Chain A
Amino acid sequence: MTDKNSNTNYYSRPGNNRDPINNDRPDTADEIKEQTEAQKVKSESAVADLDGGDLKINPKTNRNKLMEVKNLHIAYNTDRGKLHAVNGVDFSIYNNETTAVIGESGCGKTTLCLALLKLTEKNARYLSGEIIYQGDEQEKNILKLDEGELRKLRWSDISLVFQASQSVFNPVIKIKEHFIDTVRAHQRGLSAKKILKRARNLLEQMQLDADRVLSSYAHELSGGMKQRTLIALSFILEPKIVIFDEPTTALDVLTQRKILDLLKTIKEKNDFSLIIITHDLAISAELADNVATMYAGKIVEYGPVESIYYQPRHPYSYGLIKAVPKIVAGKGEEGLTSITGKPPDLIEIQEQCSFAPRCDFASSKCYNTIPSLNNIAEGHQVACFNYQEVPSIKDGSHVQNSD
């Protein structure tokens, strides 16, 4: 069954597996409380919409570059020395496509995404590179913008959804103030009424009781509700790029499921590019068009989701996928492998492939030359000398059933 799917349309692949289950499963107690009957009906229709799966135009034939990161190097000044969190990254974001950035924690993916808004912490230094953004007619280098221009760009062009576990809302002001503050920072003088109308609409799309949420303080909302509120907030200015940093970590599985479904719905209905930073391969498999694998501050592989998951070319991508346990017990236990060793210390840079010490396919060349990212197929790039030796993943269920 999975094989068939993978050959036809990969967009609806995970959905087909999931949605029947989704419709049957009970909501969490939390959500039952908050949902009115009317909303429930809506939610089911939303899911039904998804099943219909009206597909977008094949992105590969009609791709518009929205953002291009060129040779980006970012280091943090620490007590021990310079920590090279992003160490020569090249990649692009295309109009209306979803890109997943996967990798272990500490590989620099969060730094990379914060850099797209130039939001990195004070001790971060941009050593080189540029981030070209083609928002309107003019293209801009985000790293060269002054504070005022950055301020304008932030959230109205690119918005960012933080991890669910974190305290993203100011605890002493109500949720509605966050919406009002945000809109007024970009569109001065807009009446609160208009702003809240827009906010209500978005919150309802996220299946929240809009009025209750707006008049609440952050601590009065559950983790899942906070996350959905933040997602609603991220769309309030209709940005061209939305970045999700670990959107569902620290949420329980059912809430994760719900948020993913809502995200898919909202993605179907609106035009925007989505960047998802995650270490959860299942999420990226479900939502992404493209996947970028990041290792030790570098993007080591980039390509369409189906290529990466069925024919990964970088040994690290291969290892990541093989390390995902299957949910069906007993069936594939022997296939489960973990990547041995630890990621390198980002403080010392060595003249070698940073993955070589952990790599099963490493040759002597890997230990004295840094591989660069090369095209190996249409839209598929990999930074590995021995990419042809990396076997394909026979059973795609690795990434499908993992939650």
Chain B
Amino acid sequence: MPSNPVDIYINQMIAQYGMSMSEARARASALYALDLDAPLIQQYFSYMSRMIRGDMGQSIRSPGVRVSWIILARLPWTLFTVGTGLILSCLIGVFLGTISAFRRDKWYEPIITGTSSIISAIPDFLIGIFLIIIFGIITWFGRSEPLIPIHSMRGTSTPGMSWDDGIFYLWDILVHGFLPITTYALAQIGMWVLLMKGSTTSTLNKDYVRLAEARGLKNSKIMSRYVSRNALLPIATEFAMRMGFILGGSLIIEQLFVYEGLGLELLNAVHNRDYPVMQGIFLVITSCIVFANLFAELLYGILDPRTRIRRSGSNDQN
């Protein structure tokens, strides 16, 4: 049973390579840069202090490979897919949300809202599964092949291709990222639609919008300066917060599409009990959230003058 990663490593060395206990210990302490004879608490603190300095140690599974290298190699793929999904879902969601707020009397408004509330409730990995079934497995309209060649779309890119292939590689990346990106986008789009609809509806009912109308302002002006600016405030904050979940939200989806990003790496590390990698990735995921929270606060302070004043300690009149 898993206990201490160093012990596991030492046991492994002894079992697999027939090393003696002292040899294995020497090798382990060289690997982890730990003084194994020091008290446990001291070992822990020295590990932590190196973590803080950005040195996350080395992988156990692939000795000699630094955890930070692994993370740096995987990070861009996750950032690319989840980030693109987030941006797409936000853009489309804000668009649809605005429409459904303005056209509350149109036939398509209940469809937009209803669909949004349903897909926002379904877990993201189920959406991925539904996508695979609909596009990758079922054959439609009497065709012999499904719509998407799902087998050749696993992973981040076709093996053997690299930046040397130029534009083809770029296309290959897009093709491979298509399903994960669509899944991330669909999983969040409903939330954006509902948020934007609520925010726009409540802004439209505000007196300053009515007064702007009474003042004879052009509709386009009212929309841009009076409605959207206020309606987008909660969207901006939510977007900043969501950025924090870019890394943490990708675990199951990357497993589903065998997309070699940070989430899949974390899962592999968990299966392999590769503790330094696990901890390193978890640290990155957590700090991403912390920074996004800080960013959200900062952003709100910039966008909404009301919060600026409250900070400087004035009374809070509405």
Q: Binary interface profile of A, 142-173, with partner B (CB < 8 Å = 1, else 0)?
A: 00000100111111100110100011111111
> B304: CB under 8 A from chain A?
yes
The residue in chain B whose Cβ has the minimal distance to the Cβ of A154 is B216
**Within residues 199 to 228 of chain A, which ones have a CB less than 8 A from any CB in chain B?**
217, 219-223
| Interface bin, chain B | 20 to 34
Given A147, A155, A172, A223, which contacts B215 in the complex, CB threshold below 8 Å?
Answer: A155
Given A181, A217, A219, A222, which contacts B217 in the complex, CB threshold below 8 Å?
Answer: A181
- B309 engages A170 (CB within 8 Å): no
Q: Binary interface profile of B, 282-312, with partner A (CB < 8 Å = 1, else 0)?
A: 0000000000000000000001111001000
Chain A residues with Cβ below 8 Å from B61 are: none
Q: Binary interface profile of B, 224-262, with partner A (CB < 8 Å = 1, else 0)?
A: 011001100100000000000000000000000000000
> A186: CB under 8 A from chain B?
yes
Given B216, B221, B230, which contacts A171 in the complex, CB threshold below 8 Å?
Answer: B230
The residue in chain A whose Cβ has the minimal distance to the Cβ of B314 is A220
> B213: CB under 8 A from chain A?
yes
Chain A residues with Cβ below 8 Å from B303 are: 172
Rounded to whole Å, the gap between the CB of B207 and the closest CB of chain A is: 4
Of A150, A154, A177, the most chain B CB neighbours within 10 A belong to A154
- A219 engages B305 (CB within 8 Å): yes
Chain A residues with Cβ below 8 Å from B212 are: 170, 181
Of B211, B212, B303, B305, the most chain A CB neighbours within 10 A belong to B211
> A119: CB under 8 A from chain B?
yes
- B213 engages A220 (CB within 8 Å): no
> B106: CB under 8 A from chain A?
no
- Alpha-carbon distance between A162 and B207 when the two chains are bound, in angstroms: 8
Given A155, A166, A219, which contacts B216 in the complex, CB threshold below 8 Å?
Answer: A155
- Alpha-carbon distance between A27 and B102 when the two chains are bound, in angstroms: 46
The residue in chain B whose Cβ has the minimal distance to the Cβ of A170 is B208
**Within residues 170 to 215 of chain B, which ones have a CB less than 8 A from any CB in chain A?**
206-208, 210-215
Known contacts A119-B210, A222-B317; A152/B216 CB under 8 A: yes
Of A119, A160, A170, A185, the most chain B CB neighbours within 10 A belong to A170
The residue in chain A whose Cβ has the minimal distance to the Cβ of B226 is A170
Given B210, B216, B218, B230, which contacts A156 in the complex, CB threshold below 8 Å?
Answer: B216
- Alpha-carbon distance between A152 and B216 when the two chains are bound, in angstroms: 6
- Alpha-carbon distance between A219 and B311 when the two chains are bound, in angstroms: 13
Given A172, A220, A223, which contacts B230 in the complex, CB threshold below 8 Å?
Answer: A172
Chain B residues with Cβ below 8 Å from A233 are: 215
- B226 engages A185 (CB within 8 Å): no
Rounded to whole Å, the gap between the CB of A171 and the closest CB of chain B is: 6
> A6: CB under 8 A from chain B?
no
- A172 engages B305 (CB within 8 Å): yes
Rounded to whole Å, the gap between the CB of A114 and the closest CB of chain B is: 9
- Alpha-carbon distance between A219 and B304 when the two chains are bound, in angstroms: 11
> B318: CB under 8 A from chain A?
yes
> A182: CB under 8 A from chain B?
yes
- Alpha-carbon distance between A151 and B221 when the two chains are bound, in angstroms: 12
Chain A residues with Cβ below 8 Å from B214 are: 117, 119, 154-155, 159-160
- B208 engages A182 (CB within 8 Å): no
Chain A residues with Cβ below 8 Å from B230 are: 170-172
Rounded to whole Å, the gap between the CB of A272 and the closest CB of chain B is: 16
- A166 engages B207 (CB within 8 Å): yes
- A219 engages B306 (CB within 8 Å): yes
Rounded to whole Å, the gap between the CB of A161 and the closest CB of chain B is: 9
- Alpha-carbon distance between A29 and B206 when the two chains are bound, in angstroms: 30
Q: Binary interface profile of B, 120-139, with partner A (CB < 8 Å = 1, else 0)?
A: 00000000000000000000
**Within residues 210 to 260 of chain A, which ones have a CB less than 8 A from any CB in chain B?**
217, 219-223, 230, 233
Rounded to whole Å, the gap between the CB of B212 and the closest CB of chain A is: 7
Known contacts A185-B221, A186-B216; A217/B208 CB under 8 A: no
Of A177, A186, A219, A230, the most chain B CB neighbours within 10 A belong to A219
- B318 engages A170 (CB within 8 Å): no
- Alpha-carbon distance between A222 and B221 when the two chains are bound, in angstroms: 27
The residue in chain A whose Cβ has the minimal distance to the Cβ of B317 is A219
Chain B residues with Cβ below 8 Å from A160 are: 211, 214
**Within residues 72 to 116 of chain A, which ones have a CB less than 8 A from any CB in chain B?**
none
Rounded to whole Å, the gap between the CB of B213 and the closest CB of chain A is: 6
- Alpha-carbon distance between A223 and B212 when the two chains are bound, in angstroms: 19
Chain A residues with Cβ below 8 Å from B314 are: 220
Chain B residues with Cβ below 8 Å from A166 are: 207
The residue in chain A whose Cβ has the minimal distance to the Cβ of B210 is A119
- Alpha-carbon distance between A186 and B215 when the two chains are bound, in angstroms: 9
Given A151, A153, A169, which contacts B208 in the complex, CB threshold below 8 Å?
Answer: A169
- Alpha-carbon distance between A113 and B304 when the two chains are bound, in angstroms: 33
Q: Binary interface profile of A, 271-309, with partner B (CB < 8 Å = 1, else 0)?
A: 000000000000000000000000000000000000000
Chain B residues with Cβ below 8 Å from A153 are: 216
- B306 engages A168 (CB within 8 Å): no
- Alpha-carbon distance between A232 and B162 when the two chains are bound, in angstroms: 67
- Alpha-carbon distance between A233 and B215 when the two chains are bound, in angstroms: 9
Rounded to whole Å, the gap between the CB of A29 and the closest CB of chain B is: 12
Interface CB pairs A-B, < 8 A, 9? A117-B214, A154-B214, A155-B215, A160-B211, A167-B207, A172-B229, A182-B217, A221-B317, A233-B215
Closest 4 CB pairs of A and B: A154-B216, A166-B207, A155-B215, A217-B305
A residues neighboring B (CB under 8 Å): 117, 119, 122, 147, 150-156, 159-160, 162, 166-173, 177, 181-182, 185-186, 217, 219-223, 230, 233
B residues neighboring A (CB under 8 Å): 105, 206-208, 210-219, 221, 225-226, 229-230, 233, 303-306, 309, 314, 316-318
What 17 new A-B contacts, CB under 8 Å, besides A153-B216, A154-B214, A220-B314? A119-B210, A122-B105, A155-B215, A159-B215, A162-B211, A166-B207, A167-B208, A168-B207, A169-B211, A170-B229, A170-B230, A171-B305, A172-B305, A181-B225, A182-B217, A185-B215, A217-B309
